[in-house]
Structure 1
């Protein structure tokens, strides 16, 4: 789809840290969509994360992104490497001369907006999408206070806030103490038409699927405890496929053995989501914290039966007709009951429920709507910056 006739193409540089997870998916979808509409697009991100998958994706994109892909070492937490990465970001921006510098995540927000703070008369526009990031730290902690101080400082260098969910927009207001003083809007994440094709479960050999990172915030330990409870209390032994990687992988594998459910659980490395969805009848997301997770968007669009906790922006994905199905986080007893009920539900009823949720997602979370909404935000910000 091309941009509107007669509208000048934009030069857009996306700045973020890790080519991983939902943030990476979001940037890729935006970059592809913007390039398809005739804009010149580039990426600036970390060179030490993402592995083979990121290398493959960037190789495929090389001919699409006319402003290229620049990767330099970046650290997740503040470190001496930040200075070199910041210098590289400034040089890349100067070389590419973008109209828009779009920052994603807290680290990308620093690299893109700190130089802008020192250039109030700059020609280019800064946009910022937090994606959770620093807003997911526990309020009152030292880290949270430091990161919110940085966010308040960099707000002055932000022409446009593009929140991907009402949840993160609300967290900004709650933690910063006010709504953004510059322009801001919510542009929901979107997915493609192909992702609405229903999953075929005829070959499914697992009852449950967990798909995501293996770290504390994702609540996989709660899921393991729930399965142990079902076995001990009810004599139920649903088989669980855990697809993902992360810092807690070894600990979680050991936990399945210690809880007596090791033989029920199979771990697999990350892979295509639709392949994983087809292997299990029900997907479980026991997260303690989320923003607007793509994994739930994709599964819901594909009419995958779901069990999910009520955290972050997940309620926005479920909508008013399905939000009552969400459960409290960090509670193995509640999760065990949800699993028992979902697996006992007649398959036809599960399919009907899942198809209804897919309709809601189709109506509210589309890639074209997301790309057009972000481009519209850019244009509005540029018009304001051009005024005397």
Structure 2
């Protein structure tokens, strides 16, 4: 148990996907360490599958789970939502207000600054998780969001980046951070490194992730269609996940005549989904540090993925195996080669898993973030880091060095 317990409130708009997995693991570790933890999120987001994880987390949140209406885009409704969330957070009297994603980060920093005007010493922490950093800086929308990030950066005490890529994107699109910053990789638990064996009737390919174009399920479907055009038979595939564009993908499958080859399952736990197919395909167009890549590698499942965001940092010296994002031809070829040489795919999955455990750990993730909290509060200066933090910093440096040598910075 910690000797310096803190009152920590996490704020995120959408409690789904990798961003919520990060919060869930972090909040659990913080609660187990003796801190009081709370969570604030949107009241309208999340399926039955997502809400189940929220309810499982609730008993660990001594500062409670509160849900308010939060819009994805900037709207006039943000004013009333900010006021309601401010009143709730004020009553919790937090030491740390940790915002996740663009909207959660905005609420945390604006509300934290309001509290400080009335004497609070709350620390304002922000983790982008990709978010506004995915926007093109040459387009109007990107310029607006990046300008807002620059303004909010002036009222930020600490920044957490989940990958070296995300840190570099912030510097190039927003500017040099004025706050203390730290790169903290997402982590997995030891039990997640147990290999998963597929079902006897397993298909050829699995897509697992949110059903939206940013994640590339349309590319996955089109690649399967291309293989059928070439061979006369479409590989058997499974699509696991939920999202705003699901119906479009179902229509795409019907239009291409792939109903007999592709099965939609909705959301499933990752390790259950891995049993459905021999190869996992993550054809993302953009990412920060995706949990599904970490989970696939830890489960020792053959993986085809794109060179985006922090994925090359996960692959390290094996980053040359990644394919160009958005390139349907190269994705098709990679999937064809996986069908032709399953032994190679299994061997590569084993090689990749062995180099993952030391760097991507929930214990290291929690330690690095907690010591940042202490640092911005003046409790644990950076030059007096704990042995665990020093170990984590060494792991981060080693991974980044491998990434730099692979030519992906």
**TM-score (normalizing by structure 2):** 0.89
Q: Which residue of 1 aligns with 2:123?
A: 125
Alpha-carbon distance in 2 for matches of 1:153, 1:107: 14
1:20-66 deviation per Cα after TM superposition (whole angstroms, max 9, x unaligned): 11111100110000000111100011111113234322332232111
SS in 2 for 1:63: helix
Report 1:338-357 matches (<5 A). 338-347=334-343, 349-357=344-352
Alpha-carbon distance in 2 for matches of 1:57, 1:30: 14
Deviation of the 1:352 alpha carbon:
2.3
The answer to whether the aligner puts 1:19 opposite 2:19 as a matched pair is no
Contact kept, 8 Å, 2:371 with 2:380, in 1: the verdict is: no
Contact kept, 8 Å, 2:193 with 2:357, in 1: the verdict is: yes
Q: Which residue of 2 aligns with 1:266?
A: 263
Deviation of the 1:203 alpha carbon:
2.3
Q: Which residue of 1 aligns with 2:359?
A: 364
- When residues 384 and 170 of structure 1 are mapped into structure 2, their CA distance, relative to the original with a 3 A threshold, is farther
SS in 2 for 1:168: helix
Q: Which residue of 1 aligns with 2:153?
A: 155
Alpha-carbon distance in 1 for matches of 2:259, 2:154: 52
Q: Which residue of 2 aligns with 1:283?
A: 280
Q: Which residue of 1 aligns with 2:385?
A: none
- When residues 335 and 157 of structure 1 are mapped into structure 2, their CA distance, relative to the original with a 3 A threshold, is same
Q: Which residue of 2 aligns with 1:328?
A: 324
Alpha-carbon distance in 1 for matches of 2:41, 2:111: 16
Q: Which residue of 1 aligns with 2:81?
A: 85
- How many correspondences in the alignment? 379
The answer to whether the aligner puts 1:164 opposite 2:162 as a matched pair is yes
User: Which of 308, 311, 319 is equivalent to 1:311?
Assistant: 308
Contact kept, 8 Å, 1:223 with 1:286, in 2: the verdict is: yes
The answer to whether the aligner puts 1:33 opposite 2:29 as a matched pair is yes
SS in 2 for 1:198: coil
User: Which of 51, 64, 69 is equivalent to 1:73?
Assistant: 69
Q: Which residue of 2 aligns with 1:297?
A: 294
Residue range with higher mean Cα deviation, 139-148 or 365-374: 139-148
Contact kept, 8 Å, 1:10 with 1:39, in 2: the verdict is: yes
Alpha-carbon distance in 2 for matches of 1:236, 1:324: 29
Contact kept, 8 Å, 2:97 with 2:112, in 1: the verdict is: no
Stretches of structure 1 lacking an aligned partner (at least 5 in a row):
none
Q: Which residue of 1 aligns with 2:221?
A: 224
Alpha-carbon distance in 1 for matches of 2:111, 2:58: 27
User: Which of 194, 202, 206 is equivalent to 1:197?
Assistant: 194
Residue range with higher mean Cα deviation, 115-124 or 16-25: 115-124
Q: Which residue of 1 aligns with 2:240?
A: 243
- When residues 107 and 283 of structure 1 are mapped into structure 2, their CA distance, relative to the original with a 3 A threshold, is same
Stretches of structure 2 lacking an aligned partner (at least 5 in a row):
382-409
Alpha-carbon distance in 2 for matches of 1:318, 1:13: 33
Alpha-carbon distance in 2 for matches of 1:375, 1:266: 42
Residue range with higher mean Cα deviation, 114-123 or 233-242: 114-123
Deviation of the 1:337 alpha carbon:
0.8
Alpha-carbon distance in 2 for matches of 1:204, 1:8: 52
Contact kept, 8 Å, 1:89 with 1:112, in 2: the verdict is: no
Q: Which residue of 2 aligns with 1:47?
A: 43
Q: Which residue of 1 aligns with 2:387?
A: none
- When residues 168 and 242 of structure 1 are mapped into structure 2, their CA distance, relative to the original with a 3 A threshold, is same
Deviating runs (4+, > 6 A) in structure 1? none
